[in-house]
Amino acid sequence: MVETEFLADIERPDLVDAWDEISRLGGCPGVFACRPWVSAWAAAFRADAEPEVAVARENGTVVGILPLFRRSDRRLTTHVNFLSHRGEMTALPGRETEALRAVLGAARSRGDTIALRGLPGGSPTRAAVRETAAGAGYVETVREGRSSPVVDVQDSWDAYYASRPRKVTHEWERKIRKLGRAGDVVVGNGHADDTDALVGAFADIEDASWKHETGTSIRGRGMESFYRDVSRRLAEAGWLHPWWVELDGRMIAFLYGVEVGGTYYALKTSYLTETRKLSPGVLLFRDAIRDAFERGLARFDFVGQPARWKDEWATGRLAHDDVTLHPDDAAGRARAVVEGRLKPAARSVRDRLRGRENDGGRR
> Is residue 22's pLDDT more than 90?
yes
Average pLDDT over residues 121-129: 94
Which domains are delineated in the chain?
A: 2-146+319-328 (3.40.630.30), 154-297 (3.40.630.30)
At residue 47, the pLDDT reads: 82
Average pLDDT over residues 22-36: 96
At residue 363, the pLDDT reads: 39
Assign 345 a pLDDT band (cuts: 50, 70, 90).
Answer: low
> Is residue 342's pLDDT more than 70?
no
Q: Pairing mode, if any, of strands 263-271 and 299-301? A: parallel
At residue 193, the pLDDT reads: 79
- In angstroms, what CA-CA distances link 271 with 197, 254, 256, 276, 282? 17, 7, 12, 8, 11
Average pLDDT over residues 253-277: 97
Assign 3 a pLDDT band (cuts: 50, 70, 90).
Answer: very high
24 versus 192: the higher-pLDDT residue is 24
CA-wise closest residue to 171 among 290, 283, 289: 283
At residue 340, the pLDDT reads: 77
CA-wise closest residue to 67 among 112, 113, 19, 102: 19
At residue 346, the pLDDT reads: 59
At residue 48, the pLDDT reads: 84
For 143-175, what is each residue's pLDDT tens digit?
Answer: 998 899 999 999 999 999 999 999 999 999 999
Half-sphere exposure of 296 (CA within 13 A, CB side): 0
> Is residue 361's pLDDT more than 80?
no
At residue 123, the pLDDT reads: 94
Average pLDDT over residues 167-185: 98
At residue 148, the pLDDT reads: 95
Phi–psi pair at 69, nearest 5 degrees: -140, 140
For 200-255, what is each residue's pLDDT tens digit?
Answer: 999 999 999 999 889 999 999 999 999 999 999 999 999 999 999 999 999 999 99
Mean pLDDT of the residues in the chain: 93
> Is residue 113's pLDDT more than 90?
yes
CA-wise closest residue to 91 among 42, 198, 18: 18
Half-sphere exposure of 271 (CA within 13 A, CB side): 20
What percentage of residues in the chain have a pLDDT greater than 70? 94
Average pLDDT over residues 23-32: 95
- pTM of structure: 0.92
At residue 356, the pLDDT reads: 56
For 52-76, what is each residue's pLDDT tens digit?
Answer: 999 999 999 999 999 999 998 899 9
Average pLDDT over residues 84-107: 96
| CA atoms of 320 and 301, how far apart (whole Å) | 13
Question: Could you tell me the maximum CA-CA distance found in the chain, to the nearest angstrom?
Answer: 69
What percentage of residues in the chain have a pLDDT greater than 90? 85
At residue 350, the pLDDT reads: 65
At residue 362, the pLDDT reads: 43
> Is residue 348's pLDDT more than 80?
no
| CA atoms of 210 and 207, how far apart (whole Å) | 8
Average pLDDT over residues 87-92: 96
